[in-house]
Amino acid sequence: MDVKGVSVPLGVLSELICYRCKRYLSVFPIYTHAVRGSICGRCTAESAREDGFLPNIIYETSASYQRFPCCNDKRGCLEYLIPYEMNSHEQKCSYKVIKCPTRVNSNCLWEGASSDILEHFNTEHPINILSKDVFEVDIINAHTDYFLYVYNEEIFLLQKSSDNNKFSLKLEPLIKVDDNNKMTYEIKLSTANKEKEICDTKYLDDTYSINIMEIKNKLNNPTIIIGHLNILKNVTTHSNTNTKSRSNESQMNMLECPVCLEYLVPPILQCRTGHSICSSCKSELNQCPTCKSEFIDTRNFLVENLVASMNYSCKYDECPYQGKPTSIKAHQESCIFGPFKCPLKEYQSCNEIFAFKDLYRHVMDRHYEYLLEIDTLCCLYEYNEKIFKFSVHLIGNPEDNLTYKYDIDFNNAKTNNRLYIKQNCDTTNSQPFQYDGAIVLTYRQLSDFVNHEICFRTRVSIEHSK
């Protein structure tokens, strides 16, 4: 199923909301409650388990390759991302509402977009802006301080803290410019005259920690310690496309019923653990085939809403067809790229299965006496107990807006009698002679046309539907 890059329709988005934080269900893991609704990965997963929520694994699989808007879309963010990328983006989104980092020490109540924080610091906390990449390190007094550091027009938050045992420092971007690049920073602790120094390198967002006794020993008990920051060049990490996108085959396996292996279409039911199953198979089982837990009478409406807007690819490799979950099953039942059963199975006890392209050769080799060749038309007929039956079946998928019809024409020139009947061809994969378009005639109706044998003409026509 090729859905990567497809955005969730707006009409569906309104149904995919976390009942706690009221944001989109675009950060995993997702838990679902039969009454309360669903909870997203931004909220506490542990409390979800305690409250009786079930992990909605099938929803996560269905949503993994669809693009959701950022939760800050109402504030102006235009990003549409797959869930794999969403949490990282929302943490650094320039439209994200954040609280002033200095609130721990200053009780500042400011909150706003991260893009406005530099202006706030210039006005309210100018001493907490690092104008250079140098700062003083205090290892005597316990403290936690926050500073803004601007580097190449990108804003970083520097957190440094100290207690009786260790000194810690963390540098992280407030607005991440490029999610594909993993930046590193170099931290140096030195004496005032730089005769001795301690140097280490960390990735952004990683915390640098060092024992205070180690600082004193390596720097020879300095009276002043100077810290130096140096943001290094980006180290580009090329993501593995195969890993991020995974294989379509693996994804489709997760969207199949584990019993009948057909696509999960509404109604979708689930067990107590959260595994989903189609309604037909659930009615025949007492336990989940995956985990052996009991089924509950709960529909997975969250997944139903999501998959209703998705286009499924036909499971047969060579077939280009894509359709909604309600139509894909009907298509696959007669897809010409799938396995075909012999159309004469009921009459010749033939159990062979073959590709559609081999159908004609099979009939020619095994059932030639049942093949009525008129150009490319295959017509089935049966005579039994003085009842004549005629049936024309379309093998393969009907095209949209087309109607397939066939006619039978009996003509006796000697008696000047004629019988002409026109009916619809069968396009529904029903058994021969078991659909409404089958023509059934008695011997009495055809007696004027029988003289040791019966002759008739058959034609097939294709008409555009109105």
pLDDT (tens place) for every residue of the chain, 466 residues total:
444 457 888 888 888 999 889 999 999 999 888 888 889 998 865 555 666 788 888 888 888 888 999 999 988 889 999 998 998 888 878 888 888 999 888 889 999 888 788 999 999 999 999 888 888 898 888 889 999 998 887 888 999 999 888 999 999 887 655 544 567 888 999 998 888 889 998 888 889 999 999 999 999 988 899 999 988 765 444 444 443 334 445 555 567 788 888 778 788 888 877 788 888 888 888 888 888 888 777 788 888 887 777 777 787 878 888 888 777 877 887 787 888 888 777 777 788 888 877 887 888 888 877 766 554 444 555 556 677 888 887 776 677 778 888 888 888 767 778 888 888 888 776 666 766 778 888 888 888 887 777 778 888 888 776 6
Q: Which two tokens stand for residue 145?
A: 């301080």
| CB 170 within 8 Å of CB 206 | yes
- Give which of 63, 92, 77 is closest to 179, Cα–Cα: 92
For residue 111, the cross-strand partners are: 99
CA distance 25 to 21: 10
pLDDT of residue 384: 60
CA distance 182 to 195: 32
- Give which of 160, 45, 23 is closest to 93, Cα–Cα: 23
pLDDT of residue 37: 87
Which residues neighbour 70 within 8 Å (Cβ) at sequence distance 6 or greater?
Answer: 77, 78, 79, 80, 81, 86, 89, 90, 93, 95
pLDDT of residue 237: 42
pLDDT of residue 244: 37
What's the full length of the chain, in residues? Answer: 466
pLDDT of residue 363: 82
- Give which of 8, 7, 41, 10 is closest to 23, Cα–Cα: 41
H/E run at residue 305 = helix 301-307
CA distance 176 to 156: 9
Q: Which two tokens stand for residue 4?
A: 């990567």
Instruction: Compute, in degrees rounded to 10, the torsion defined by CA atoms 45, 50, 52, 53.
Output: 0
State the chain's maximal CA–CA distance in angstroms. Answer: 127
Which residues neighbour 380 within 8 Å (Cβ) at sequence distance 6 or greater?
Answer: 343, 344, 370, 390, 391, 392, 393, 432, 433
CA distance 140 to 24: 46
| CB 93 within 8 Å of CB 77 | yes
In CATH terms, 97-236 corresponds, of 2.60.40, 3.30.930, 2.60.210, 2.30.30, to 2.60.210
Domain coordinates in residue numbering, the chain: 1-89+246-314, 97-236, 372-464
CA distance 28 to 18: 11
Which residues neighbour 261 within 8 Å (Cβ) at sequence distance 6 or greater?
Answer: none
pTM exceeding the 0.75 threshold for the entire prediction: no
Q: Which ranges in 137-247 belong to alpha helices (H)?
A: 212-218, 241-245
pLDDT of residue 235: 47
**Number of C-beta neighbours around residue 102 at 10 A:** 19
DSSP category for residue 294: B
* Burial track 262-288 (b if 16+ CB lie within 10 A, e otherwise): bbbbbebbbbeebbbbbeebbeeeeeb
CA distance 169 to 458: 87
Q: Calculate Rg over the CA atoms of the chain.
A: 36
Helix (H, G, I), strand (E, B) or coil at 447: helix
CA distance 245 to 2: 10
CA distance 335 to 356: 9
